[in-house]
Amino acid sequence: MHVSVGFLLELGVVLVVLSVLGALARRFALSPVPLYLLAGLAVGEGGVAELPEAAEFVETGATIGMVLLLLVLGLEFTISEFSASLRRHLPSAWVDLVLNAAPGALAGWMLGLDASGVLALAGVTYISSSGIVARLLTDLRRLGNRETPAVLSVLVLEDFAMAGFLPLLAVVAAGGDWAQAVLGVVLAVGAVVLALVLSNRWGHQLGRVLTHPDDEPLLLRVLGVTLVVAALAEAVHVSAAVGAFLVGLALSGEAAQRAREVLSPLRDLFAAIFFIAVGFFVEPESLVPLLGPALALAAVSVVTKVASGWYAAGREGAARRGRVRAGTALVAHGEFSLVIVGLVGLSDGRLGAFVAAYVLILAIAGPLLTRYAPGWVRVGGPGGPPGRRVAAVTA
Residue ranges per domain, the chain? 5-374
Mean pLDDT of 303-310: 95
Average pLDDT, the chain: 81
> What is the rounded distance in angstroms from the CA atom of residue 102 to the CA atom of residue 92?
16
Over range 349-355, report the average pLDDT. Answer: 76
Q: Answer whether 0.85 is exceeded by the pTM.
A: no
CATH code for residues 5-374: 1.20.1530.20
Kindly tell me if the per-residue pLDDT of 386 is higher than 60: no
Residue 106 — pLDDT band, cuts 50, 70, 90? very high
Q: Is it the case that residue 188 has pLDDT exceeding 60?
A: yes
Closest CA to 156 of 252, 90, 223: 90
Per-residue confidence (pLDDT) for residue 305, from 0 to 100: 95
Buried b (16+ CB within 10 A) or exposed e, 210-219: bbeeeeeebb
State which of 122-131, 155-164, 298-307, 347-356 shows the largest mean pLDDT.
298-307
Give the Cα separation of 174 and 185 in Å (integer). 15
pLDDT at residue 298 in the model: 95
At 390 the pLDDT is 36
* Res 389 pLDDT > 50: no
Closest CA to 373 of 337, 335, 330, 312: 330
Highest mean pLDDT among 40-44, 227-231, 283-287: 227-231
